[in-house]
Structure 1
């Protein structure tokens, strides 16, 4: 039996991190967590590009354009959508998730979903580096593992 799985030791990777400006007080922590993780796993700054998008709704278009460029081995999408008193949350979060999934499949490129979808600001803060860890760091690890796995397939 042969088992294939990725690891975190990929070399010569180029990664784009797309972070939203909306809810920057949360997303900036996700971005720092992702960058720290990538650096700790040997990815030098000159192989990393950070792109700022207005909000989560715009992430899929920006990510798709970067994927289409062929310059990247993986992309990390970072954002934060916090539920409010209207249905706006469902539309933004749903279209963001659907669009990022479509981009990943269309371009056959690892695209990590580092977009927080929380009920409260407190939950977002917990997932951006406090009680619940840093979901940006987790997205970075997922990206490295997927790049490694795809190279083995």
Structure 2
């Protein structure tokens, strides 16, 4: 279904396991803070609503989306975490910078997860304009931060069950 017809943060069709036994990292980019702050609140509140303990959530702010990669790697190197959620927002501009950043961030986040064999969740909006970003950070299309948190919980639970 096309995203313009749906709230993407509706989880009524799925079961979300308890987040209570898990430890999470949230890395949020400060760039586009009006959007990323809402993503962070959505992720944090979704973790808490699904049973995560406040003391089991480590939050880190970085300058921009590109820095999410190194921060996720540092968190997984120095902390015993079950999953890391990366939250950012890259909005299309007039140059190819958007393409390079989006490609690097997507690949970098995936590689950190593979390196550590832990879930590293891509909660980065890559939109054409600010309106689309706001629609996906608590607006009419839900909150990608909520989605990232639910994904982190499900992946942490899946990894735990496969041990």
TM-score normalised by L of structure 2: 0.88
**Structure 1 residue 56 corresponds to structure 2 residue 104:** no
Q: Which runs of 5+ in 2 are unaligned?
A: 1-14
1:102 & 1:11 partners in 2: Cα distance? 27
Instruction: Report the counterpart of residue 130 of structure 2 in structure 1.
Output: 121
RMSD, aligned α-carbons: 1.1
**Structure 1 residue 82 corresponds to structure 2 residue 95:** no
Q: Which runs of 4+ in 1 moved over 4 A?
A: none
Structure 1 segment 21-40 matched on structure 2, within 5 A = 21-40=30-49
TM-superposed deviation, 1:7? 4.3
8 Å contact 2:20–2:53 — kept in the other structure? no
1:45 & 1:18 partners in 2: Cα distance? 15
Pick one of 103, 107, 124 that aligns with 1:98: 107
Instruction: Report the counterpart of residue 17 of structure 2 in structure 1.
Output: 8
8 Å contact 1:7–1:148 — kept in the other structure? no
2:151 & 2:139 partners in 1: Cα distance? 20
2:156 & 2:28 partners in 1: Cα distance? 20
SS in 1 for 2:39: helix
Q: Which runs of 5+ in 1 are unaligned?
A: 1-5
Structure-2 change in CA distance of 1:10 and 1:29 (3 Å): closer
